[in-house]
Structure 1
Amino acid sequence: MDVQSWTFTLVGITFAMYIIIAIWSRASSTNDFYVAGGGVSPLANGMATAADWMSAASFISMAGLISFMGYDGAVYLMGWTGGYVLLALLLAPYLRKFGKYTVPDFIGDRYYSNIARTVAVICAIIVSFTYVAGQMRGVGVVFARFLEVPVNTGVFIGMIIVLFYATLGGMKGITYTQVAQYCILIFAFMVPAFFISFQLTGNIIPQVGFGGTLSDGTYLLDKLDGLHKELGFAEYTSGSKSMIDVFAITFALMVGTAGLPHVIVRFFTVSKVRDARMSAGWALIFIAILYTTAPAIAAFARTNLIETVAEKNYSQMPQWFSNWEKTGLISFEDKNKDGKIQYVADPNKNELTIDRDIMVLANPEIAKLPNWVVGLVAAGGLAAALSTAAGLLLVISASISHDLIKKQIKPDISEKSELVWARIGAVIAVCIAGYFGINPPGFVAAVVALAFGLAAASFFPAIILGIFDKRMNKEGAIAGMVIGILLMLFYMMKYKLGLFGGGTKDDWWFGISPEGFGTVAMVVNFVISFTISRFYPAPPEEVQEMVESIRYPRGAGDATHS
């Protein structure tokens, strides 16, 4: 079968699987819809958490970033990996012991204020929509190439699938769908890595092949450095970013991970605090499989790409090149009219434009792997994007139905009506997410990095201080969240969208990029929160006792949902 037939077959099978799981595990109560009834096993929750966290940015875009940026791209690898460790060790067990459905629920009760709850809802929606834009773009990119439909059409198809299993199954359906999606995405990521590693270095293990030698005895990374020099690019193994920006991006991604509402809510789906710790450990193992492979995939893809296109005749390009040209994600402009592709660092002479989001997806085709592997990677990319999109959409719908309607607007609402509102919220969220997927503010990983910055600027200080500082009160938390997220939004809009007078790289504050500015906004949030809280009375005694009980380990293993 050809690539398109394999893709239709494998994507069709996986989509059917998601729908069957959603029907089998459909939510019949708000407890099922929000936290899967709180009875998910640590192993299953670990897989679901890994799938929820490893989005299209991890599967599609991260290796593409490293492939183009080399050493500089490693900040995303370090930040996202370190962030999950931070979340698993520092926050997850405490939040699970608190036993609420959502992050705004925690903030509303911890800071004894519906204003704090509302601010948290707004922050959760902003973070989630920014994040989901990257996922929907990832879905569109996959469909555009492999099902040969426009990117926008691909986004619409993805919207329909997510809408079905997110609104029908809620967190219960999403959890078991994400278990299947993890299996699919990790298999799809690893199979081409095994193939290409063996093809280039003779070693089937990509992590070993990454540091291995090619058939001519040259080390892979030395070869890549040489190719980069010839084309005028910076050495693949050396960085060009300033140290402060590297630190800021890495730290923003780390603390942003620890503040992501759709990942945090996964720890409410298990029955005990001990299970939350175990599922965090399982998730870390499952995540490490992909994250230790991504640098190897990046190097393999970059080597094969350069050797395929640089200084080659355009008329002799292989079929994969023209297939990606049709999507608009690769374009060639013959500036000197010699019929050869000049792929160089100098923008005035460069004739080839490549969207970095295609590297993982195009990698099997560039390496001339079997058609079924190409189709498998497409199914994996969709699994990664859809799993995270579903988790994010559930956060948005829960914020609307539980934190706004149930907790504030209509406290006496029936469970059945609350479930209806949760599903209406999911429908609205899918439609808005589709718009952002069609009109994203950048490539997948950049958009996702901005979402992490927003989470770092808003949620992380409020959660950390809420757990570890009994004196932190509602006035400090509200002021910190509002100022933190507004500062991050201002910086994003100024330097990403050109608003408020715009600006260039030379105008960045402290030399920090928008992707790293979450660190600055987070520090401002901490300072504002701590300072303001000391000018107002301490929280009520019962709130301080609640904070003590969250941190108190004895009997924690028996904690269940309130």
Structure 2
Amino acid sequence: MHYLDLTIFVLYMLAMLGVGFYFLKKNQGADDYYVGGRNMGSGHIGLSVVATDVGGGFSIGLGGLGFVMGLSGAWMLFTGLLGAWLAAVFLIPKVKRNPAFDKFLTFPQIFGHYFNARVALLAGIISAIGYTGFTSSQILAGAKLASGTFINLDLNTALIIMGVIAVVYTVMGGMKAVIYTDTVQWAILMGGLVFIGIPVSFLAVGGGVEQISFSQLTDLTWLQEQSGRSMEAIRSTLPDEFLTLTNITWPQIVNWAITIIPIWFVGMTLYQRIYACRDEKTAKRAWYLAGLFEWPIMAFMGVSLGILARVAAEQGMFEALGIGAEVDPESGLPMLLRSVLPVGLMGLMLSAYFSAILSTADSCLMASSGNIVTDVIGRFTKADPDSPHMLRLSQLVTLLVGVLALALASTMTNVLNLMLYSYAFMVSGLFVPIIGALFWKRRSNVAAFWAMLVGGATTILLQVTMSAEGFVNIPFLGLRFGLPYGLDPNLFGLTAALVLYITLTILYPNKTHKKWQNTTPSNTRSIPQPITSN
């Protein structure tokens, strides 16, 4: 990498650490650290939501989808648009209109409100585990980008560098640093994709140049001729179905939908941003904005770069990098950028993608840390959430979660799979109980607890025991079977949770409903509970 590109990249990283240090001095307690003081506007929140949800993992993952299936890979983020808008219509009013939630810091505290402390504790554990895995996927995405871009940088070294940067500025700055840097990071990513990544990559696959120069980018005649050559190269290189929206099967759509749509109702990062909004109108506007940016904008940008990487790979453009015939689809995008971008633009584009990765990694770190401090540790302590002690504890836990996420990332190879596994675990455990709590008047602590436990366990068991050929192998039970139609294990975890929740709610309903006391709900143990016989 040229020293100019490296300088641009290093300055960007130092700027992000500077933001974290600035807010280190501003945060007064857990309320500032986790929910930004509850006075954030829709613009910052909306961009933070889309930056967090799409982020680097989906950016690298979408590139991989474009590489293997073309434009149809964009349908994955269409489910994100549906999830965002459904949450705006049905979830946000329930959360923002309930005064009992005004002091909440985490999503599982809602379970403590509707059920009991044991249910809230289990929800906190499930959410913390899921977001630790999700953080790992972002660190892995950054490492793949770095190792595919920097010469002589291996994946493990890149993992350590990415992990340290993401963890340090998140530990220092908390939610305000996360949201404000998300806005900047998203703007950098959009600018990088629209003005650098997509147009330069598109022109490069037309051939005839080793590397595009600034003078060529300002020559209108050359641009017109090269665009024609690029379109011809794309058509002649790719199968016809790559340029359609029908290169997809219905099980793929169903699998994405049942994993991504529900996450908008159980995602800790999303509840933190709902809490951080100043009012319901602000939150709804932010969610509608986030949905539009997810699909079509980010969806088609991501798969388009993946398509261009596929064309470049087929043309042998990566041979100079020492890459053989087999190219990792998720590494194709950084290899493409490394091959085609001129000096200066490479540093800007690399900063753009690291922006996307950091914007998700920081939020997931905050979510997992918040679950552990508030919903697990808070279950056994009465410490004031606004005290300096709790702020220091929050920062320490964030650091430890980051180290654990880095260790997990070192054992995985596929970014998108790691993300979707983490999503599926949270969804199968938490989605049915939260929908029941918010939209069904009948309550059962027993039903909520066992639906969470069995739903999450079912999904994890099926995922862990499934072979590469799609068969579930459970030797100690003598079982070997395939899931029907190639459906995701998450569907079966959700089904188990739904059946249990309905059945146990009918059989073991909460027998009394006392008025909620006006206590501080940021401590899970102090969340007011109804007295029941269950």
For residues 292 and 543 of structure 1, what CA distance do their matches in structure 2 show? 50
CA deviation after TM superposition for structure 1 residue 144, in Å: 1.7
1:123 to 1:15, Cα distance in 2 relative to 1, 3 A: same
Contact 2:143 2:159 in 1 (8 A): yes
Partner of 2:21: 23
Partner of 1:346: none
Partner of 1:270: 277
For residues 485 and 292 of structure 2, what CA distance do their matches in structure 1 show? 35
Is it true that 1:193 corresponds to 2:160 in the alignment?
no
Partner of 2:327: 354
1:245 to 1:193, Cα distance in 2 relative to 1, 3 A: closer
CA deviation after TM superposition for structure 1 residue 499, in Å: 7.1
For residues 267 and 61 of structure 1, what CA distance do their matches in structure 2 show? 26
1:18 is aligned with what amino acid? M
For residues 387 and 535 of structure 1, what CA distance do their matches in structure 2 show? 44
Comparing 4-13 with 131-140, which one deviates more in the overlay? 4-13
For residues 436 and 516 of structure 2, what CA distance do their matches in structure 1 show? 12
For residues 484 and 516 of structure 2, what CA distance do their matches in structure 1 show? 38
Partner of 2:36: 36
Deviations along 1:437-459, whole A, 9 cap, x unmatched?
A: 1111x411111111221222012
Partner of 2:12: 14
Contact 1:7 1:379 in 2 (8 A): no
Unaligned runs of 5+ in 2: 207-216, 218-225, 519-534
3-state SS of paired residue (2:507): coil
- 1:508 maps to which of 479, 482, 498: 482
For residues 250 and 198 of structure 1, what CA distance do their matches in structure 2 show? 34
Partner of 1:313: none
CA deviation after TM superposition for structure 1 residue 354, in Å: 0.9
Partner of 1:260: 267
1:398 is aligned with what amino acid? G
Contact 2:141 2:415 in 1 (8 A): yes
1:163 is aligned with what amino acid? V
Contact 1:480 1:529 in 2 (8 A): yes
For residues 43 and 389 of structure 1, what CA distance do their matches in structure 2 show? 20
Comparing 239-248 with 288-297, which one deviates more in the overlay? 239-248
Comparing 520-529 with 385-394, which one deviates more in the overlay? 520-529
Contact 1:454 1:518 in 2 (8 A): yes
Partner of 1:556: none
For residues 174 and 230 of structure 2, what CA distance do their matches in structure 1 show? 53
Is it true that 1:142 corresponds to 2:145 in the alignment?
yes
1:195 is aligned with what amino acid? V
CA deviation after TM superposition for structure 1 residue 118, in Å: 1.2
Give matches, 1:129-528, under 5 Å: 129-148=132-151, 149-190=153-194, 191-197=196-202, 215=228, 222-224=235-237, 227-228=238-239, 237=244, 242-288=249-295, 289-306=297-314, 308-309=315-316, 320-323=318-321, 325=322, 330=323, 332=324, 352-366=325-339, 368-406=340-378, 408-413=379-384, 415-440=387-412, 442-495=413-466, 500-501=474-475, 507-513=481-487, 516-528=488-500
For residues 240 and 501 of structure 1, what CA distance do their matches in structure 2 show? 36
Q: Paired residues, what number?
A: 485
Partner of 1:70: 70
1:413 to 1:369, Cα distance in 2 relative to 1, 3 A: closer
1:219 to 1:29, Cα distance in 2 relative to 1, 3 A: same
Partner of 1:537: 509
TM-score normalised by the chain length of structure 1: 0.79
1:371 to 1:358, Cα distance in 2 relative to 1, 3 A: farther
2:362 is aligned with what amino acid? A
3-state SS of paired residue (1:371): coil
Contact 2:203 2:227 in 1 (8 A): no
3-state SS of paired residue (1:353): coil
3-state SS of paired residue (2:228): coil
1:282 to 1:70, Cα distance in 2 relative to 1, 3 A: closer
Unaligned runs of 5+ in 1: 205-212, 310-317, 333-351, 547-562
3-state SS of paired residue (1:471): coil
For residues 395 and 70 of structure 1, what CA distance do their matches in structure 2 show? 33
Comparing 290-299 with 469-478, which one deviates more in the overlay? 290-299
CA RMSD of aligned residues (A): 3.1
Contact 1:256 1:456 in 2 (8 A): yes
CA deviation after TM superposition for structure 1 residue 432, in Å: 0.3
For residues 57 and 146 of structure 1, what CA distance do their matches in structure 2 show? 16
Partner of 1:339: none
CA deviation after TM superposition for structure 1 residue 293, in Å: 2.1
For residues 512 and 203 of structure 2, what CA distance do their matches in structure 1 show? 63
2:450 is aligned with what amino acid? A
CA deviation after TM superposition for structure 1 residue 417, in Å: 2.0
3-state SS of paired residue (1:55): helix
1:280 to 1:501, Cα distance in 2 relative to 1, 3 A: same
Instruction: Indicate the percent of aligned positions where both proteins have the same amino acid.
Output: 17
1:292 is aligned with what amino acid? F
1:500 to 1:296, Cα distance in 2 relative to 1, 3 A: same
1:67 to 1:85, Cα distance in 2 relative to 1, 3 A: farther
Partner of 1:83: 83
1:89 to 1:539, Cα distance in 2 relative to 1, 3 A: farther
1:265 to 1:130, Cα distance in 2 relative to 1, 3 A: same
CA deviation after TM superposition for structure 1 residue 45, in Å: 1.1
